[in-house]
Amino acid sequence: MFKARMNKQVQPERKVSVVAPLPDRAGPPPPPKKDVELILVKEHNGVQYTSSSLLPAAPAPRYGTQDRETWGKKIDFLLSVIGFAVDLANVWRFPYLCYKNGGGAFLIPYILFLIIAGMPLFYMELALGQYNREGAATVWKICPVFKGVGYAVILIALYVGFYYNVIIAWSLYYLFSSFTFELPWTNCHNSWNSPNCTDPKLFNASVLGNGTKYSKYKLTPAAEFYERGVLHLHESRGIHDLGLPRWQLSLCLLVVVIILFFSLWKGVKTSGKVVWITATLPYVVLFVLLIHGITLPGAYNGINAYLHIDFRRLKEATVWIDAATQIFYSLGAGFGVLIAFASYNKFDNNCYRDALLTSTINCVTSFISGFAIFSILGYMAHEHKVKIEDVATEGAGLVFILYPEAISTLSGSTFWAVVFFIMLLTLGIDSSMGGMEAVITGLADDFHLLKQHRKLFTFGVSFGTFLLALFCITN
């Protein structure tokens, strides 16, 4: 029988493990540790035999992890993850995919892929970030040969970030344009309108396609405001004709970048407070829009179309592909954001519970947003006396053309336009914050000089995304 005990004369000042280092904790560095003497005692026939050996104490945590900041409160982390995952795709993509792919039947492959793929990947990223307390690049110290994968993730997050900022700038432009007695996309009497602009009330029964065109040569005021008033597509001869950035969108983009910079410049201590607004306000607005939407004429038809069940669609491969794509895209796995956020958790945080909670909230939000969207689409179809499929669409056309057009017909349209675009703005801001945090944390953890000058580095990343995004707001 073997027994092991510590020699009291050489025992270190605090107990340590001789197998692995203690979990990283923030605070001042511990005093140097002395060697540990391990004494083995063997008892044989009533006689004890002893042997001893000196073992080195556990090494100190590597630089940059022991003094790593942590979230001020657990709720800061949860709201940051929810704010990143719940983005514009929850509003403009999921409801249409659900409607297009069999309504309620689409939830079967959607939930299946959530359980077998989405949640496991979500949990894995949170666990990797929390355990290693590193960003997307240095977390690959577990297998250094794949460190390039981490840099690829950072590059993707940077790329997505600068074009996402453009969409947020569009939302901000629409928000500023909404502070008028008459919304600018309600009539055809503006400088950007063409002779093809037609009041939709005059052609109720001739809506085609996505609800923006009444014939090959007729466009709604909302469509012309987006295409000609905001983007100025009519001034471009093609993708080769770059043109100059539009000063109105440039100012909106600058405001967005400034908001992002001051939200991130001091790390999670500041961003964790910003998400209290940006992650919760969309739910308030979504609830208000839902309550008002279901009171509109035709809303029931829209919701019925959203929830109709067609199990025959499950035989089609495209339905399963759309479900898998939406799960991965919506949860945000693979962008390095979850790794970065979790790296600021305490070592013993229950990230498994966090993964279940936040991923479930994200998917439930997508489902509920469908009621707010399709109640309005049902109202639009009722107003124009057409079928739901004639107005149902996804993407930018939904939130920048169809929804604004519907809002313009409501009483108190200015109020509804303001709250709707505030929702889009906040949905975009916290998602973009996540992408930029992934870039900043990922590079700062690999280059300690950047970590020491985080504020300056954050400014550089913010300004860099601003310059790149200028190419996306030209005529």
| Residue 417 assigned to a binding site | no
Residue 394 lies in a domain: yes
| Residue 90 assigned to a binding site | yes
Q: Which amino acid is present at 42?
A: K
Rounded to whole angstroms, how far apart are CA atoms 309 and 56? 66
Q: What integer pLDDT is reported at residue 375 of this predicted model?
A: 93
**Which neighbouring-strand residues pair with 309?**
103
In a 13 Å sphere around the CA of 266, the CA atoms on its Cβ side amount to: 10
Task: Say if residue 32 is in the same domain as residue 82.
Answer: no
Task: Say if residue 147 is in the same domain as residue 15.
Answer: no
Nearest to 396 by CA among 100, 170, 233, 238: 170
Is residue 215 over pLDDT 70? Answer: no
pLDDT level of residue 66 (50, 70, 90 thresholds): low
More confident residue, 9 or 278: 278
Phi-psi region of 27 (alpha: psi -120 to 50; beta: other; left: phi over 0): left
Q: What integer pLDDT is reported at residue 297 of this predicted model?
A: 93
pLDDT tens by residue, 249-264: 999 999 999 999 999 9
| Residue 85 assigned to a binding site | yes
Contact 90, 365 (CB under 8 A): yes
- Find the domain containing 8 and state its range: 2-55
Q: For residue 269, give the 3-state DSSP assignment.
A: helix
| Residue 337 assigned to a binding site | no
Task: Say if residue 114 is in the same domain as residue 17.
Answer: no
Longest dimension (CA), the chain: 108
pTM for the predicted model, two decimal places: 0.81
Task: Say if residue 79 is in the same domain as residue 41.
Answer: no
| Residue 35 assigned to a binding site | no
Is residue 386 over pLDDT 60? Answer: yes
Residue 153 lies in a domain: yes
pLDDT tens by residue, 220-236: 899 999 998 998 888 87
Q: Quick one: which H or E segment has residue 328?
A: helix 317-331
Task: Say if residue 35 is in the same domain as residue 87.
Answer: no
* Percentage of the chain exceeding pLDDT 70: 83
Q: For residue 475, give the 3-state DSSP assignment.
A: coil
| 256 secondary structure, DSSP code | H
In a 13 Å sphere around the CA of 413, the CA atoms on its Cβ side amount to: 17
Residue 361 lies in a domain: yes
Task: Say if residue 415 is in the same domain as residue 292.
Answer: yes
Q: Which residues contact 114 (CB under 8 A, 6 or more apart)?
A: 327, 359, 363
Is residue 10 over pLDDT 50? Answer: no
Q: Work out whether strand 218-219 and strand 36-44 pair parallel, antiparallel, or are unpaired.
A: unpaired
Q: Which residues contact 120 (CB under 8 A, 6 or more apart)?
A: none
Which backbone phi and psi does 173 adopt, to 5 degrees? -65, -45
Which backbone phi and psi does 446 adopt, to 5 degrees? -90, -25
* Percentage of the chain exceeding pLDDT 90: 59
Number of separate domains in the chain = 2
Task: Say if residue 18 is in the same domain as residue 84.
Answer: no
Task: Say if residue 129 is in the same domain as residue 183.
Answer: yes
Q: What integer pLDDT is reported at residue 455 of this predicted model?
A: 93
Mean pLDDT of the chain: 84
Contact 92, 424 (CB under 8 A): no
Cβ of 277: how many Cβ atoms within 10 Å? 14
Residue 191 lies in a domain: yes
| Residue 349 assigned to a binding site | no
Cα–Cα distance list, 220 to 195, 199, 236, 400, 440 (Å):
11, 6, 20, 12, 43
| Residue 431 assigned to a binding site | yes
| Residue 80 assigned to a binding site | no
Task: Say if residue 42 is in the same domain as residue 153.
Answer: no
pLDDT tens by residue, 156-196: 999 988 889 999 999 999 999 999 988 999 888 888 888 88
Residue 189 lies in a domain: yes
Task: Say if residue 362 is in the same domain as residue 303.
Answer: yes
Rounded to whole angstroms, how far apart are CA atoms 167 and 196? 26
pLDDT level of residue 21 (50, 70, 90 thresholds): very low
Contact 276, 79 (CB under 8 A): yes
| Residue 456 assigned to a binding site | no
Residue 64 lies in a domain: no
Rounded to whole angstroms, how far apart are CA atoms 439 and 453? 15
Task: Say if residue 134 is in the same domain as residue 251.
Answer: yes
pLDDT tens by residue, 90-146: 888 999 999 999 888 999 999 999 999 999 999 999 999 999 999 999 999 999 999
Torsion angle of C-alpha atoms 7, 12, 13, 19, degrees rounded to 10: -120
> What own/partner pairs with CB < 8 Å and gap ≥ 24 does 24-27 have?
24/61, 24/65, 24/66, 24/68, 24/133, 24/347, 25/66, 25/346, 25/347, 26/66, 26/67, 26/68, 26/69, 26/70, 27/66, 27/67
pLDDT level of residue 20 (50, 70, 90 thresholds): very low
Residue linked to tokens 């340590």? 16
- Transcribe 192-233 into DSSP letters: T--TTB--GGG-TT--BTTTTEEETTEE-HHHHIIIIIIS-G
pLDDT level of residue 45 (50, 70, 90 thresholds): low
Task: Say if residue 278 is in the same domain as residue 365.
Answer: yes
Identify the CATH number of the domain in which residue 154 sits: 1.10.4160
